[in-house]
Amino acid sequence: MLKKFSLLVPFASLSTAAGVIILLARWINGNLLLSSPSALISYGFMAGICYTLATAISFVILGSLLKKSDYTQNQHTQSFLLFTIQKKLSGMNLKVIRFFYLLTGIELWLIQLISISVLSEIMLTIPVPVTVFLFLVGMLLLDRMMSVKSILWLEILFIIALFSLLIFIPIYYFVQNGASTVYEGIRLYHPYLFYFKNSEILLFYVIIQLAVLGQVLFDKSTWYLIAFIKPKKVGRSLFSSGVILALLTLSFTAILMIALYSGSFGQFQILIFTFLYEVQPGFLTFAFLVIVLLAIFTTLLVDLRATKRFFVKKRPYYFYLIGLLILLFTFFLSIDLTILGVIYSFAFLHITMLPFMFILLFTNRHIHKHNWLVILFSIIIGIGVGLSFNALYGLAASFMISSIYQLMLQTETEDKNA
């Protein structure tokens, strides 16, 4: 199933600047642009900022880990994640991890479909089923027509447009109207956003950071893109991407503050809608629409390319792709989904996989044959706790159980090898 020694590119050639662009284009998607308002309203400004910074911090951590690992030019000829999975896993471990490898793509697709449906409802005024169907067909055609170079150029265009919009708007608006006016307006209409809303806020910070770090470490698109960057530039590219992403998310939070200060709102989609018509309706509406569409298209095209590396032949890949699109269309129209709901659901997988990914990618230890069972057991227990109490407690339980048992299995393996 996996390609054992398939070259991703003839040689890793991208510099730090180009590496930063392609990594940012992968992680600035419908999730960031449309779920950030929901997190902000649910937990307050500090939680909203920490939620958006979690990916940036994860990039910095990954860059530091790769500098200390045995990440070499030889391993760099293909996705380091696929290389390591093929090299160190076998039996049920390999089957379960391969299944999870494909499963994580469903989360990404669902979030982008929700983003498309939001645009359809509040901006395009097109029925959601029609929009989703046309979007899925369009993605299938783009995957067939676009080359890797075309996708990289599209990502460059997207990042340039995003930088221009997210950096210019807050500066222009605050200079014109004054920061104090925005601050006083938020204090008047939404004073609760400046305070901790509940006693679980610290747990939220920690759990979200762990879950996002697990997502980054197990993200096939990230490892696919890393393989395009020169090995000596990978750590610097990840660190720079983290810093720039942090600045962009702070700028996006400032834009949300502009939308909030003028009054109350209903749903978080209305918050974005309010912002668009608060500053300059015509230009900003069009610019926001273009940027969100570019973010969604670039994210999914990279995911498709990364998934294609998983298959030995093209025919199984296209069978998988058509089946995935049919499943997504049916699933999306039959269940009422929200971005945060999807994120929380898949967070159980990401946070449970985190201890295992550390052992797999950044240690020389052998993987115990029952590691897969620990992962499944931890996810099931965590979901049970989450249904009985709340999602944060369930995610914490999954992480602790997975960490304890993964360490126990590794100790046993070391003793046997000794």
For residue 15, the surrounding DSSP H or E stretch is none
For residue 276, pLDDT beyond 80: no
Fold of 16-335: Sodium/glucose cotransporter (1.20.1730)
Residue 70: CB atoms within 10 A of its CB come to: 10
Domain positions in the chain are 16-335
In this prediction, residue 152 carries a pLDDT of: 80
Q: Which string of b and e fits 197-230 if b means at least 16 CB within 10 Å?
A: eeeeeeebbebbbbbbbbbbbbbbbbbbbbbbbb
Q: In whole angstroms, what is the distance from residue 255 CA to residue 249 CA? A: 10
Tokens describing residue 411: 């100790």
User: What percentage of the chain exceeds 70 in pLDDT?
Assistant: 72
Q: Name the pLDDT band for 216 (thresholds 50, 70, 90).
A: very high
Tokens describing residue 311: 């298959």
CA 256 to chain centre: 20
Q: What is the mean pLDDT of the chain?
A: 78
Q: Which residue has the higher pLDDT, 313 or 23?
A: 23
What are the CB-based long-range contacts (under 8 Å, 24+) for 400-406? Answer: 401/374, 401/377, 402/351, 402/352, 402/353, 402/354, 402/355, 402/356, 402/374, 402/375, 402/378, 403/355, 405/374, 405/377, 405/378, 406/355, 406/356, 406/359, 406/371, 406/374
Q: Name the pLDDT band for 188 (thresholds 50, 70, 90).
A: low
Distances in Å between the Cα of 138 and the Cα atoms of 112, 123, 132, 145, 258 are 14, 19, 10, 10, 34
DSSP letter string, 71-107: --TTGGGS-HHHHHHHHH--HHHHHHHHHHHHHHHHH
Mean pLDDT of 372-394: 94
For residue 198, pLDDT beyond 60: no
Tokens 């499943």 belong to which residue? 327
One-letter identity of residue 81: L
In this prediction, residue 134 carries a pLDDT of: 87
Residue 318: CB atoms within 10 A of its CB come to: 15
For residue 246, pLDDT beyond 90: no
In this prediction, residue 414 carries a pLDDT of: 47
In this prediction, residue 205 carries a pLDDT of: 83
Tokens 């670039």 belong to which residue? 298
User: pLDDT digit string (tens) for 48-81?
Assistant: 677 778 888 999 999 888 877 767 644 555 688 8
Does residue 186 contact residue 261 with C-beta atoms inside 8 Å? yes
Q: In whole angstroms, what is the distance from residue 268 CA to residue 377 CA? A: 35
Torsions phi, psi for 146 (to 5 deg): -85, 140
Q: In whole angstroms, what is the distance from residue 338 CA to residue 186 CA? A: 26
Q: In whole angstroms, what is the distance from residue 274 CA to residue 262 CA? A: 9
